[in-house]
Each structure stands twice: as C-alpha cells, then as structure tokens.
Amino acid sequence: MGLMVVAGAQIACTFGQVGNLNVTSNLKRLCGGKPIATVKDAQAMANITPCGMCSSMANPQVAAATAAALGVLTPQPCIPNPTGMWIGGQMKEMIEGSPILTQDAKCMCSWGGSISIVNPGQTKMVAG
C-alpha cells in the first residue's frame, strides 16, 4: 500500500526530469484539500505535464536534433506521450469506478521512458 496521489504531485520520467500531475478524473473526493488522482489521470498535457528535456532517441525530435548534431545526443523539450493508464493503482479503493493512484504506480511513455511519482503531494493518507 502506498500514499494516495493528489493534484500537484511531482512526477519524473526516466528520460526526462520532473513534471507535475494534474487531476481531472475526480474533483469531489479530496485529501488535504486537493483532489485525489485515479489511474485515469494519464493524459498528455491535461494530466501529465512535460518533464523538462527528453533524452530518448525514440523521440523523433531528439533523434532529428541528434542527427543534425552529427550524433551528439541533443535533448529536446519533453512532450509527454503516455501509452495508457497508470499501472499499480490501489484496487481496493475506487473513485467513480477507477482505482486510486498511489505513489508506487508507473506510466509508460511511447518514447521509451517510465513515468513515476516522485512526491505524491501529501504525506498522511495511505490507500487501502
């Protein structure tokens, strides 16, 4: 069991840096005055904000910039591209039929990175 993730949580990508999580799947159930996230909060830009600079060669922008720099890795601004919902949410507690997002969850990016929760945005409420 992990801490519940709330709006404003910090996220990080293995090929990027730190970004933030916005909650749009739930605006009614709160923890510390902030909406609790669910596994559905995995949409690019709406939920998952850019994570700084991307260094994945699977990202076409990075590949093009690196080719133009004669093979020297040239990171480019992150444009998140999640492949689906978060994996590893709390299955015992649901909000409107969706599992609550917990700090141990991961979300895959189609550029090859794994997005994880760095800071769940609160420190008191454990899911489950």
Q: Pick the range with the lowest mean pLDDT from 17-26, 50-59, 69-78, 85-94.
A: 85-94
Over residues 106-112, mean pLDDT: 96
| pLDDT at 14 > cutoff 70 | yes
**Beta bridge mates, 76:** 54
Q: What is the pLDDT of residues 23-47, one digit of tens each?
A: 999 999 999 999 999 999 999 999 9
Name the pTM for this structure: 0.91
Interatomic CA distance for residues 25 and 22, integer angstroms:
9
- Using an 8 Å Cβ cutoff, are 89 and 102 in contact? yes
Comparing 1 with 56, which gets the higher pLDDT?
56
Q: Which residues, in sequence order, are bridge partners of residue 126?
A: 3
The three-class DSSP label of residue 46 is coil
Predicted pLDDT of residue 48: 98
